[in-house]
Structure 1
Amino acid sequence: MSVMGASAQSARETEQRERIIATAERLFREIGFQKTTVADIARELRMSPANVYRFFSAKSEINAAVARQLMSEVEEAAQSIARGPGTASERLRALILSNESMNAERYVADRKLHDMVEAALDENWPIISDHIDRIDAAIEEVIRSGMESGEFAKDDAQLAARLVHTSCIRFCHPRLMVECADRPTPTSAQMIEFCIAALRGGFRDLGPALPR
């Protein structure tokens, strides 16, 4: 096969994988990820289940691919804000609020997708820790730029990012967003301002930095 032919085949395979993921996500929203079968996905795409298995060896891989797609959209938005215009404080506010809004739209308003995330958390899917690391990295990028510009006190940017993310986890974690919805807690805007005040003052007395 020529290089051009191989490239065209690879593009077709990528497109087919994307169609399977998109169809699976739609069915997950309509009937739930647990009730959706590979046969359901194949039927919607007018192909055989065997053809779906050419791209995904198990239904669990499709589940993970759908979750990965949803989480990557949140990560891309966070990275775009982190590298965008504005002061570090403005970008940090926008990043956390965007994270909250996108997670609420995906996992709280849509109960069937929320069930998928619950399973991902309960079963400790690897994509969960990867997602947390990527959001941590975006927050760290904002905080580091603020420390370099003098907007925030110079300190350990990695530790600061973990502290901010943990402080705001109530507004980012799908399970906590549901469980705490009716409880009297500070708003996300209030928590962000609390974190920004801490970043401006520094936190050198909190203990050693995180291990590298």
Structure 2
Amino acid sequence: MARRSWHKSADTRAEIIDEAELQLQALGYANMTIGSIAKALGMSPANIFKNFGNKAGLIDAVALRWVMEIDAAIETTADIPSASLRLRAMAHLILEIHLARDKMPVRMAILIGLDSTPPPSALAFFHRLLRRLEKLIDDGVADGEFAPCDVEVTAAAVCDCLVTILDPAAVFRGLSLFTVEEMTKKCDHLVDFVIRGLSLRA
């Protein structure tokens, strides 16, 4: 392919990330390289290094694109007044986004981390999710919907209870065992369980 002239821009970054996603799915993480992406796009590898620093930086950019999509979906639940309904809406939205990626297991691996080291964007997302859950629980306690509790500890426990919904790799594995309808019902059952626990009074 003839080499084209490139410059650092939002369009260039987007095109590089697009190609990285394609190669991650087609070739896998190990075989996707800065060189293979540069060759496919007809650019110098220096352009990719200039935009992302290294392969880890590029992987983080791929993860960031995905978590921003999830963040935007969760944000649409912010005005739901009932904490229980908001929790249910959040869980379903996250599950729906993961299910829409059923053809992209490599992106799921990226989100939870390669070699047990999650990309910074993925770690930041989970921290934001915990803060959102803390606020949701605090709102529920303030409104009398949930029992008083240690909000920080309880938010972490809620994450643990909903891990098969929140963890994209778990969702992907679930698709080999259950239909989408069955997984959606399981999501409701898990949320019901969590809400009952949050509502219990000592």
TM-score range (shorter-chain normalised) is: 0.7 to 0.9
Query: Residue 80 of structure 2 aligns to a residue in which SS?
Result: coil
Gaps of 5+ in 2: 1-7
Distance of 1:171 and 1:55 partners within structure 2:
33
Q: After TM superposition, list the pairs within 5 Å mapping 1:67-146 onto structure 2.
A: 67-81=63-77, 83-106=78-101, 108-117=102-111, 119-120=113-114, 122-146=116-140
**Cα RMSD after superposing both structures:** 2.8
Distance 1:187 1:97, change over 3 A: same
8 Å CA contact 2:137, 2:151 repeated in 1: yes
Query: Residue 148 of structure 2 aligns to a residue in which SS?
Result: coil
Scaled by the length of structure 2, what TM-score is found? 0.78
Scaled by the length of structure 1, what TM-score is found? 0.75
Q: After TM superposition, list the pairs within 5 Å mapping 1:41-52 onto structure 2.
A: 41-52=37-48
The answer to whether structure 1 residue 55 and structure 2 residue 51 are counterparts is yes
8 Å CA contact 1:93, 1:189 repeated in 2: yes
The partner residue of 1:24 within 20, 25, 45 is 20
Q: What's 1:37 paired with?
A: 33
Distance of 1:129 and 1:59 partners within structure 2:
18
Q: How far off its partner does 1:131 sit?
A: 2.2
The answer to whether structure 1 residue 192 and structure 2 residue 188 are counterparts is no
Tell me how many residue pairs correspond in the alignment.
190
**1:41-83 CA distances to partner (integer Å, 9 max, x unpaired)?**
22443322112221122122111210122122212322332x1
Distance of 1:29 and 1:120 partners within structure 2:
14
Worse-matched range after superposition: 185-194 or 121-130 = 121-130
Gaps of 5+ in 1: 1-11, 205-212
State the one-letter code of the partner of 1:201. L
Q: What's 2:151 paired with?
A: 157
Q: After TM superposition, list the pairs within 5 Å mapping 1:160-171 onto structure 2.
A: 160-171=154-165
